[in-house]
Copies of this chain bind each other. A is one copy, B any other.
Amino acid sequence: MDLPPGGYGFIVHSILTVGSVAFDSIKTPMGEASRVVGGAATYFSIAASLFTDVRLVAVVGDDFGKDQMDVFAGRRIDLKGLQSVPGETFRWKGEYSADLNTRETIYTHLNVFDQFRPAIPESYRESPFVFLANIHPALQGEVLDQVKAPRFVAADTMNYWIEGTPKELRAVLRRIDALVINDEEARQLSGEANIVKAARVIQGMGPRLLVIKRGEYGVLLTRENGFFAVPGMPLEDVADPTGAGDTFAGGFMGYLASVGEVTEAVVTQAVIAGSALASFAVAGFGLDGLLRLTPDTVRARLAEFKQLTFFEDL
């Protein structure tokens, strides 16, 4: 399905993404889900595929069967780069606090992901848009080594890599256009408590654009002069925050790629697209909120974001 604006005529700007496809077990105050399909690259791909063609690079074990593969079926997602190898799929279990603002990881079993080396299919190498989901920065670098002059590269990372592999992370930061992280990670990476100073320090490390996710408070984006900010959509029923950040990134990159032009105005719209999809993702457990989306519900939510934020000039 195509969402606005749908890009320029016949040119499709594809997105290559690399990251985890996983089995998640999730517990929140609203309920539980056990061994459901998850993973950063899964949320990203499904979200981005609402806007454009997505090329997925990831690995699953032989326990990831046809039923699981069905989450990708009928969508604009190319699975040529999804390796299936003997062994078990990456498994993660997390439990959320009463206010949903913090979560504890019960376990992380890398399984087949432990030996994962991204092999980019020949047909993926000219992808104009690239999203490096949250994996080891050395692997993110290997992906960039294999693609030919992408027009726009964005990456995610996390505290684990900021602390554990700072050198590899810095090398990746020098090669990307945009970094998509949360506010706590921005403070940690920069060593600055003030978010304006933090953003400037991180931009000095390489990425021209910084997209800072603030959970229920929305998203902050650096711009040529100052910032763009959008609040989170106030939601009455939040079932499960898992994958909200990856869904945001999918909507953000999907929208950018569908327009094909990365101007400041388009980037601000892309932040809205990402925020809209994320607001659906948290309404269901696991992928449920995302899988049941239709173009009409997304269009309605985009209009709601306008109503949420618009004011007449004073």
Q: Which of A73-81, A167-175, A192-200 contacts B (4 or more CB under 8 A)?
A: A192-200
Q: Within 8 Å CB of A310, what residues of B?
A: 268, 310
The minimal Cβ–Cβ distance linking A1 to chain B, given in whole angstroms, is: 15
Asked if A121 is at the interface of the complex by the 8 Å CB criterion, the answer is no
The minimal Cβ–Cβ distance linking A300 to chain B, given in whole angstroms, is: 12
What secondary structure prevails in chain A residues at the interface with B? mixed
State whether A220 touches B234 (Cβ < 8 A). yes
Q: Which of B216, B227, B272, B306 contacts A308 (CB 8 A)?
A: B227
CA–CA, A302 and B314, complex, Å: 7
Q: Which of B229, B231, B309 contacts A234 (CB 8 A)?
A: B229
Asked if A217 is at the interface of the complex by the 8 Å CB criterion, the answer is yes
Asked if A307 is at the interface of the complex by the 8 Å CB criterion, the answer is yes
State whether A269 touches B234 (Cβ < 8 A). no
CA–CA, A213 and B265, complex, Å: 28
State whether A304 touches B234 (Cβ < 8 A). no
- Stoichiometry, as copies per complex, reads 2
Asked if A228 is at the interface of the complex by the 8 Å CB criterion, the answer is yes
State whether B308 touches A226 (Cβ < 8 A). yes
State whether B272 touches A228 (Cβ < 8 A). no
The minimal Cβ–Cβ distance linking A3 to chain B, given in whole angstroms, is: 8
The minimal Cβ–Cβ distance linking A96 to chain B, given in whole angstroms, is: 12
Q: Within 8 Å CB of A311, what residues of B?
A: 228, 230, 265, 268-269, 271-272, 306, 309
Whether A193 touches B99, Cβ cut-off 8 Å, given contacts A311-B269, A312-B269, is yes
Q: Within 8 Å CB of A106, what residues of B?
A: none
CA–CA, A227 and B306, complex, Å: 11
Asked if A43 is at the interface of the complex by the 8 Å CB criterion, the answer is no
State whether B196 touches A272 (Cβ < 8 A). no
State whether A231 touches B220 (Cβ < 8 A). yes
State whether B226 touches A314 (Cβ < 8 A). no
13 contacts between A and B (CB under 8 A): A196-B234, A196-B235, A196-B236, A217-B218, A217-B231, A218-B231, A226-B308, A268-B310, A268-B311, A272-B311, A302-B314, A309-B311, A310-B310
CA–CA, A198 and B226, complex, Å: 33
The minimal Cβ–Cβ distance linking A210 to chain B, given in whole angstroms, is: 11
Interface residues of A in 174-207 (CB under 8 A from B): 193-197, 199
Nearest 6 A/B pairs, CB to CB: A229-B231, A217-B217, A196-B236, A268-B311, A302-B314, A227-B234
State whether B195 touches A234 (Cβ < 8 A). yes
Whether A269 touches B314, Cβ cut-off 8 Å, given contacts A98-B193, A194-B236, A197-B236, is yes
Asked if A238 is at the interface of the complex by the 8 Å CB criterion, the answer is yes
CA–CA, A310 and B314, complex, Å: 14
Q: Within 8 Å CB of A268, what residues of B?
A: 310-312
Asked if A273 is at the interface of the complex by the 8 Å CB criterion, the answer is yes
State whether B238 touches A234 (Cβ < 8 A). no
